[in-house]
Amino acid sequence: MTVKALLEGGPEDLAGTVVPVVPPGQELKIPHLGGYEHYKVTSRHEDTEEGQVTVYRWWERTEIAE
């Protein structure tokens, strides 16, 4: 079974998106527009079209070093 997360906050085109959590853990690092968006797990869950998922809240962006 794939663990999934609902992204909260951060860039508008990522907010509200359900993504797989690989590997399951405390933080997600999503590649996005030349950098990474970082999300931390919360204790909240939301019902989505893909079932109940854990909410991950945006907390920072880092740039990809060139």
Asked if pLDDT for residue 2 goes beyond 90, the answer is no
pLDDT computed for residue 53 by the predictor? 94
Q: How much is the pLDDT for 61?
A: 97
Is pLDDT of 3 > 70?
yes
Task: Tell me the two tokens of residue 66.
Answer: 């060139």
Query: Above 90 in pLDDT, residue 35?
Result: yes
Domain boundaries, the chain: 1-25
Output the pLDDT for position 26: 80
Closest CA relative to residue 41, chosen from 23, 66, 65: 23
Output the pLDDT for position 1.
67
Strand-pair category, 27-32 with 35-48: antiparallel
Nearest of 47, 56, 45 to residue 20 by alpha carbon: 56
